[in-house]
Structure 1
């Protein structure tokens, strides 16, 4: 668990606060950066392309955000992938547990999994315990 770094891209500042505290309780060694929209997240990745050290291990990506939503973020990320010198696991965050949405997300090769909000402390602990994951991860609760 140690030395992991997370990038949380979500416009809900209350959710960011909860995630920060939950992750710190689970493992205080995890570094976490926050952005309120996909554009800021992409800018962060672009600024840190030269060094894998500053790039996150995990991106938690909300679907619905202003300026650049999660789907637009993924399109931009695809164009950067060859320049990113690190394996980054990206998990989509959404309130939808609709099987068709999950099936659609599974078709996106850049995604490592699908997390349904609200995410419990046990759900976060379970995700962290599976990192790095080689299988597509789905946490329905």
Structure 2
């Protein structure tokens, strides 16, 4: 079975959640690879490198971004990523994934141009499969 999505990126500091998503992706063969970052700074540095290098590192087609992380949280990442997204050659779909059900968080995230949707943890398997289909 060939995947439609070559690479998925998870930006989250929760090891259990990361392991669960990674295992689902592998078992369901939803993507060829998974790139994981523990905070927004690690991820932002990686994406800045894709802009600065003539040899392109792997650019994920889908990002699942947590909001609450150490070093650089999801909000800070979104602010910085919004500034550089147009410089990245490939199209990236970005989903904010949070346990917060606060309508202010949901509205704030959906108002940011680079955000495709806001998903509440845990992501239902059918929603996850639909995104990666």
Q: Give the TM-score normalised by structure 2.
A: 0.87
Which residues in structure 2 correspond to 1:48-59 (within 5 Å)? Answer: 48-49=50-51, 50=53, 54-59=58-63
Q: What is the total number of aligned residue pairs between the two structures?
A: 129
Runs of 4+ in 1 over 6 A off after TM superposition: none
Q: Distance in 1 between matches of 2:61 and 2:11?
A: 14
Counterpart for residue 19 of structure 2: 17
Deviation at 1:18, TM superposition (A): 0.5
Aligned to 2:114: 110
Aligned residue for 1:40, secondary structure, equals helix
Q: Which has the higher contact order (CA 8 A, sep 6+)?
A: 2
Contact kept, 8 Å, 2:8 with 2:31, in 1: the verdict is: no
Structure 1 residues 91 and 3, CA, compared in 2 at 3 Å: closer, same or farther? closer
Q: What is the Cα-based RMSD across aligned positions, in Å?
A: 1.8
Higher alpha-carbon deviation: 103-112 or 26-35: 26-35
Which whole-Å CA distance do the structure 1 matches of 2:99 and 2:44 have between them? 23
Provide the residue aligned with 2:8 in structure 1.
6
Q: Gaps (5+ residues) in structure 2?
A: none
TM superposition shift of 1:123:
2.7
SS in 1 for 2:91: coil
* Counterparts in 2 of 1:101 and 1:83: CA distance versus 1, 3 Å: same
Unaligned runs of 5+ in 1: 130-141
SS in 2 for 1:81: helix
CA deviation string 1:57-97 (max 9, x = no partner): 01110000000000100111122123211111110011123
TM-score, normalised to structure 1, is: 0.82
